[in-house]
Amino acid sequence: MANYNLYTDQQLVSLLKDNDQVAYTEIYDRYQGLLYIYACKITKDESEAEDIVQEVFFYLWDKRAAILFNTSLSSYLYSAVRYKFFNLLDHKKVRANYVESLQRFIEIGNIEADYAIREKELTILIEKEISLLPIKMREVFELSRKAQLSHKEIAEKLRISEKTVKNQINNALKELRMKLGVMAFLLILTRF
């Protein structure tokens, strides 16, 4: 078997274009660490840097046959990291503009009717999911959230331990959070 770490970048690129996965792995091993350090310097965020480098390598493999290497492999990879970084900045700017626009819309107050309708639909959805909880868990949850009984009162009423009450409520909240998502879960915490 060939020793790929002895190949030049040009040889690896040629093999990569021929769908050679070992050549791709060698390119990854050779440049991943360096590109990550570079991406960390320009993003100032390790998580974003990691994402950018992974996207670059995913693109390299995905488009291996079509990519034209007009420069060296290293120049291409560093340029790709820069491009992904600028792309990320553009998306952040769009996201910031969207948030700003949404904030203006909220301040105007045109969403009250829409909010009421959505809240009603969400409440119906929450009630449905609560009804699908296991019987004992649902009973404990409803006594806690709807009847507003303390853990001690529920334990006495159902003749179970307070720890069981606490566990049932925590399990119900976990299950509802998984099924309904964050927004509905926050509504449960504030309304139910």
Q: Which of 23-27, 61-65, 103-107 has the lowest mean pLDDT?
A: 103-107
Cα 190 from chain centroid (whole Å): 25
Residue 160: the pLDDT is 93
Q: Which of 38-47, 82-91, 117-126, 137-146 has the lowest mean pLDDT?
A: 117-126
Q: Is 4-105's fold the same as 112-191's?
A: no
Identify the CATH class of 4-105. Answer: mainly alpha
- What digits encode the pLDDT tens for the residues 114-163? 666 767 777 787 788 888 888 998 899 889 888 888 999 999 999 999 99
Q: Is the pLDDT of residue 177 over 60?
A: yes
Q: What CATH number has the domain spanning 112-191?
A: 1.10.10.10
Residue spans per domain, the chain: 4-105, 112-191
Over the range 156-191, which residues count as b (16 or more CB within 10 Å of their CB) and which as e? eebeeeeeebeebbeebbebbeeebeeebbebbeee
Q: Is the pLDDT of residue 60 over 80?
A: yes
Q: pTM (2 decimals)?
A: 0.48
- What digits encode the pLDDT tens for the residues 7-30? 999 999 999 999 999 999 999 999
CB-CB contact of 122 with 183 (8 Å): yes
Structure tokens at 30: 């050779």
The type of residue at 149 is: L
